[in-house]
Amino acid sequence: MLTAVTDDADYQGLLQVWGTEEALQVHLEKIVAQLCPMICGVDAPVPVVEPRPSWVARALLGGRSARAQYEPAEAGQPPKIAAYPGLFLQPDLLRRVLAHELIHHWEHLGAVGAEALGYPDDADARIAGKYGDSAQGRSWGAAHSRSFVAKAASVATSLAQPLAVLLFDDRGA
């Protein structure tokens, strides 16, 4: 599984962190199985976490890298969270990055309950402070609706994480 998506140095690092590929996969499945019902609802299909080569993220995002990316179900395939190897080397990030991608899943499934969520008062200022009026900010905004931000605030509270961590992976915010 991972040997096809990592170089040898990253693969050795993955083995140091997780011991085996199977241990990593079990951990990923456990996190998604725990978070999906909380974020998306108890009847939501649980996405599969699929490792992808890092170069795919850079190619798709114009040179920028990503930790993970949500892909809706299609052609009889389950929904997926494409995850890139750098994420696996940072176990402390797994839960929050997967939660972020599950919020995209929740939106794709119809954003049930979105009307009851409050939009954080400081969210627009946080987003503007992070990106200003840059192309990266416009790209981020196109992929993250007001409903997404409101749900992220709710999930951040449930996970006892700062909102910026779930929105932008800002560890210190």
Residue 117, C-beta contacts closer than 8 angstroms, at least 6 positions apart: 147, 150, 151, 153, 154
pLDDT of residue 152: 96
Q: Is the pLDDT of residue 105 over 50?
A: yes
Beta-carbon contacts of residue 3 (< 8 Å; ≥ 6 apart): 11
CA–CA dist 31, 92 (Å, integer): 12
pLDDT in tens, 78-103: 999 998 888 888 887 889 999 999 99
Query: What pLDDT score does 130 carry?
Result: 86
How much is the pLDDT for 173? Answer: 39
Contact residues for 112 (Cβ-Cβ < 8 A; gap 6+)? 41, 106
**Rounded distance between C-alpha atoms, residue 166 and residue 100, angstroms:** 6
Q: Up-side HSE of residue 161: CA atoms within 13 Å toward CB?
A: 23
Cα angle value 60/63/64 (rounded, 5°): 85
Query: Could you read off the pLDDT of 61-70 as tens digits, one per residue?
Result: 554 556 888 9
What percentage of the chain exceeds 90 in pLDDT? 47
Q: What is the pTM of this model?
A: 0.88
